Amino acid sequence: MSGRFPPRRDTSTRRATARNTKRPSPAPARTPSPNPPQNRSARCLPTACIRYAALSHDGSGLDSYEPYAIALKDLAVKDRATVLEENSYLFVERHDIRRGGAAPLGYRATWAERHKLAVSKLGARVSNVMTQVDFARLLLSGGSNRVSDEFIEVHIYGPLDNNAIESVRGKTKLKNTADRALAAKAKKHLSGMGRPWIEA
């Protein structure tokens, strides 16, 4: 599985716990507010806790989400990930799902049954002459922009850290000096953790 993670506010459990380890002093008694403020540091709102990724057969990713792909370990996500047939933004538009509305059945699956969703979506396009490369491109293919990308979206609940990384795919032969230095630093860091860098 290849991960593409758009910038999101840090809502990791570690930080939330650290912020709430010190017990506050008792406050004077007062009348409860009818609309009490939410303690955002102590809870993880569902939408803020989801990391988005794309299902990949060969560890490649989508260039429209930057030219690097992080492959995640199955063990790190198998108990907290689900899959959706396509980009969730396009899915909501295509099925005219309003805020608070339910998604239609048959387009999602648990991580353990992701193969069933893939067969349901792509089975009619599979042939007996396809190669492993063909299968990989069928499951995930990049278009000219994010709207034309074809992939099965993965929703991972909760934070991810270095232990979740299986490998990283990208380029180190870059024109920009700063980009080359940053890629080299990332590659060295991965090597220190025993994780491979796959040159794209």
pLDDT for position 8: 38
Q: What percent of the chain has pLDDT over 70?
A: 76
Rounded to whole angstroms, the Cα distance separating 46 from 58 reads 30
- Answer for the pair 183, 170: CB distance below 8 angstroms, yes or no: yes
pLDDT for position 47: 59
Residue 105 predicted with pLDDT over 70:
yes
Rounded to whole angstroms, the Cα distance separating 191 from 186 reads 9
Least confident of 37-46, 61-70, 80-89, 117-126: 37-46
φ/ψ region of 171 (left if φ > 0, alpha if ψ in -120 to 50, else beta) reads: beta
Residue 1 predicted with pLDDT over 80:
no
DSSP tag of 146: G
Average pLDDT, stretch 121-147? Answer: 94
pTM for this structure?
0.74
**More confident of the two residues 104 and 1:** 104
pLDDT for 47-78, tens place per residue?
579 999 999 999 999 989 888 999 999 999 99
Least confident of 30-44, 47-61, 139-153: 30-44
Residue 37 predicted with pLDDT over 50:
no
